[in-house]
Structure 1
Amino acid sequence: MNTDESNNKGNIICGRCAYDANPRGATHCQKCGTPLVIASVPNSDPSPASDSTLLVGGISVVATVLFFAIGGYFFWQQVRVASTPSNLNNSADNISSDIRLYNSMKEVPKVPEGTFNYGGAVVFAPLRNSLHKAINQVYPKFGLRFTEPKYNNPGQNTGITMLLDGELSFAQSSKPLEDTHYSKAKERGFSLQQVAIGIDGFLLFTHPDVSIPGLAVEQVKDIFKGKITNWNQVGGPDLAITAFAFNPKFGSSLNILLGPELDQLSPKVQFMRDYTDGVRKVSSIRGALGIGSTGAILGQKSIRPLAIAHGNSKSYVPPFTDDGKQVNATALRDGTYPLTRRLFIVIRRDGTIDEAAGVAYTNLLLSQEGQQYIEKAGFVPIRN
């Protein structure tokens, strides 16, 4: 178990992520959400202003030591349960005493009653209908309401903004939180926690008339940077490439694909609002190329999914197996398929019913039953 310390400003240093600006009296790290165990005051002055004990959430060091002497075993058991599977990320994002791994949805405790707004990454769309119907059958009073942004396109970036603004109870995200998100939450008096619930593969799909064995990752980058403009440059037909993707202001695909080279994005790249819009556009334009998700595109007959190879190689790995009926889960899980990302639920840690909804929803998805729905939706479960 990590022991948290304090710095010369009296702030508590998180023993897990080393965040050093947790104020005196904090019970959870404001960056990663990990419970703060105990912190001693180094070289403290025996004056009343520098007492020999530091209060952590209103409990003195003496009381805290007694508490952990009696209850430490039970706390350790909770953490152990949360981090048992070898394929579950053992970072501060996933270790929390109220994030647990249950077998079935009906075992998940403290599911609040009410109507709760959620939103974020459009990649979650295939998961929502079947999963939420199953949740509703077990917890009919746990109402889940998908909420689109008022003035922007839906996406993981707008979802996080809406969560920070109090418009959502929890958010669905297709890329990790950034330092600016944690900072903004801290400024507003709460913290954020992200918990991985599955793995998704990036999918490149084309108009059916484009017949090539696959693309290498570097070729994909060059297409979206405008360096490759015709399919004959990559062994395909003499057709101009019309590339579609999500606007990087709202979605994460291009951000993850291009990284620091995002500023080289070709101005000719056209943006799609969601996957339905993307499939419709790519299937209607000869030479079109779209970037999407294995889960969102699984089973689509009007487009052609492409195999992808690492770097500049020609060792193409297909995104689907069984004639396109199943996601290539083995390749996504072991990294053989080169373009993957983790999917997260982002919890607003503010002590309100919104936090309870986020924790309950995360536990429902991490249950063995919930993970089966993630697999059915075309994603790779994070639990075996």
Structure 2
Amino acid sequence: MDNTNQGKALIKGDVAIFLRGLIIGKVLTIMVIGGLLWWLLKPELASRNNADSSNQALKPTSNAASTFGSLADVPTDSFNYGGSTAWAPIRQVVDSQILSARPELKLRYLDPVNSSPGSSSGIRMLLEGKLDFVQSSRPLTDEEQAIAKQQGFTLAQRQVGIDGIAVVVNPSLKLPGLTVDQLQQIYLGHLTNWNQVGGPNLPITPFSQRPENADTIIFSSNSDLKKQALGSNVKYVYSTTDALRQLSKTPGGIYYASARAVVPQCSVKPLPLGRTATDFVSPYREPLVSPEQCPRQRNQINTEAIKNGSYPITTNLFVIIKQNKGEEQKAGDAYTNLLLTDQGQQAIEQAGFVGVRQ
């Protein structure tokens, strides 16, 4: 090789060495600067990561579909329960599904011996130790809580559903509806003729369960009206079945009960209710099914109005649980939790009520 070619080769080698050194130097510089920046920003990054983790933990997680079979802590024993007649469809539809899925939980429904069945008599039986938990369509009273406290325990009420309170009259009565105040005044004995509320000249005959056995209420628990005695013209009945039988024979009769119990009946007519006379809402889905069309067709409950609050009288469905850390409390808690599963809430709506987990 001549001197010229040797010189060119040496120059190329020096350039390559120079470029490699330049590249390596830049890479090292970037690594040093990057490491320095990471070291300086480390506390802030750590803080950000911790905040992100905390935010992630605070986000509500979607409830996985739950069934009767997936629930834990269901006691294996026999338990007595009872209470509200409004719960009868739940006992037929929901409780039968529970007993099929969880046969280890043996439930036996008991009626009272010396009084009509209902929320009040059921709670009395619970306080007397005759029941392990109770199905109620009204909240606990201060008196019931006081009796429990005297016996060394407390009572808890856990809501599992919502029911509408429907008013029914004899099918022959022509009336567009009643306000809640008019309904209350009828049962207090202050309104005694249908012509006082826009109806015919006909005496009003109110039917009701006795207050001490009442299954449903039309007076707010914090209302002064609740403390007043019912009118002397009120005729007391043993049960809703008894009331419907008498109402069908009484042109001026009126009765109120669980919408699920009375709206589909053929022998009576459900009446629209309103907070005022200009906002009547039907407890049934329009149009009204006449007695002549029933039982081929039956009135269906207006669950949408109950759900959205436009229907003026609703009541909550509670499981009443004895808080004594014993087997009764375990049974009441387990039954409540079963009703609050996805499957339980769906079954409650199948039974004609509104669930609490919308």
Instruction: Tell me which interval the TM-score lies in, with the shorter structure as reference length.
Output: 0.7 to 0.9
Q: Secondary structure at the match of 1:211?
A: coil
Instruction: Give the structure, 1 or 2, with the largest relative contact order (CA under 8 Å, sep 6 or more).
Output: 2
| Residue matched to 2:107 | 144
Look up the match of 2:294: none
Structure 2 counterpart of 1:381, one-letter code: G
Cα distance in 1, alignment partners of residues 130 and 300 from structure 2: 36
Q: Distance in 1 between matches of 2:319 and 2:309?
A: 22
Matches within 5 A, 1:5-16: none
* Cα 1:109–1:102 shift into 2, 3 Å: farther
Alpha-carbon distance, 1:190 to partner = 2.4
Determine if the alignment matches structure 1 residue 297 to structure 2 residue 262: yes
Deviation of residue 113 (structure 1)?
Answer: 2.3
Separation (CA, whole Å) in 2 of partners of 1:292 and 1:117: 25
Aligned to 2:306: 332
1:168 aligns with 2:131: yes
What is the root-mean-square deviation in Å for CA atoms of aligned residues?
A: 2.4
Provide the C-alpha distance between the structure 2 equivalents of 1:145 and 1:185, rounded to a whole number of angstroms.
Answer: 23
What is the DSSP-based 3-state SS (H/G/I as helix, E as strand, rest coil) of the residue aligned with 1:196?
strand
Amino acid at match of 2:302: N
Q: Deviations for 1:138-159, whole angstroms, at most 9, x for unmatched residues?
A: 0123221111222222221221
Name the amino acid aligned to 2:173.
V
Q: Find the counterpart in structure 1 of residue 234 from structure 2.
A: 269
Q: What SS is found at the alignment partner of 2:256?
A: strand
CA contact (8 A) 1:375 1:381 kept: yes
Opposite residue 197 of structure 1, the aligned amino acid is V
Q: Distance in 1 between matches of 2:109 and 2:68?
A: 20
Q: Work out the CA distance in 1 between the residues paired with 2:280 and 2:136.
A: 28
**1:117 touches 1:147 (CA, 8 Å); kept in 2?**
yes
Q: Name the count of aligned residue pairs.
A: 290
Distance 1:210 1:348 in 2: 45
Q: 257-266 or 212-221: which moved more?
A: 257-266
Q: Which region of structure 1 is more displaced relative to structure 2, 165-174 or 327-336?
A: 327-336
Bigger Cα Rg: 2
Cα distance in 2 for residues equivalent to 1:264 and 1:193: 28
Residue in structure 2 matching 1:378, options 336, 352, 355: 352
Matched, 1:158 2:121: yes
Q: TM-score, normalised by structure 1?
A: 0.70
Cross-structure match for 1:348: 322
More helix by percentage:
2
Q: Distance in 1 between matches of 2:74 and 2:326?
A: 13
**How far is 1:294 from its partner?**
0.8
Q: In the alignment, which residue of structure 1 is the partner of 2:202? A: 239
Provide the rounded CA distance (Å) in 2 between the counterparts of 1:194 and 1:264. Answer: 27
The share of aligned pairs that are identical, in percent, is: 37
1:245 and 1:254 in contact (8 A); partners too: no
Which ranges of structure 2 fall in alignment gaps of 5 or more residues?
Answer: 1-53, 289-298
Q: TM-score, normalised by structure 2?
A: 0.75
Whether 2:278 is the aligned partner of 1:314: answer yes
**1:327 counterpart SS class:** coil
Following TM superposition, by how much is the alpha carbon of 1:264 offset from its aligned partner in structure 2, in angstroms? 4.2
- Aligned equivalents of 2:281 and 2:217: distance in 1? 20
The structural deviation recorded for 1:102 is 6.3
Superimposed CA distance per residue, residues 227-251 of structure 1 (whole angstroms, 9 cap, x where no aligned partner): 2222222222332211111211111
Q: Is the 8 A contact 1:102 1:366 kept in 2?
A: no
Structure 1 residue identity aligned to 2:335: Y
Measured after TM superposition, the shift of residue 315 of structure 1 is: 1.4
CA shift digits 1:2-21 (9 cap, x unpaired)? xxxxxxxxxxxxxxxxxxxx
CA distance in 2 between partners of 1:274 and 1:102 (Å): 38
Task: Classify the secondary structure of the residue corresponding to 1:118.
Answer: strand
- Pairwise mapping of residues 1-384 of structure 1 onto structure 2 (< 5 A)? 103-254=66-217, 256=219, 259-262=223-226, 263-310=228-275, 312-321=276-285, 323=287, 325-384=299-358
Contact 2:263 2:283 in 1 (8 A): no
Per the alignment, in what secondary structure is the counterpart of residue 265 of structure 2?
coil
C-alpha distance in structure 1 between counterparts of 2:166 and 2:136, whole Å: 17
Letter in 2 for 1:349: Q
**Distance apart, 1:173 and its partner CA:** 1.4
In the TM superposition, residue 252 of structure 1 has moved relative to its aligned partner by 4.8
- Per-residue deviation, 1:290: 0.6
Contact 1:126 1:377 survives alignment (8 Å): yes
Tell me the residue number matched to 1:93: none
Amino acid at match of 1:277: D
**Hey, what does 1:21 align to over in structure 2?**
none
* Deviations 1:115-137, CA, capped at 9 Å, x for gaps: 21111122111221111211121
Q: Write the distance in 2 (CA, Å) between the matches of 1:102 and 1:270.
A: 47
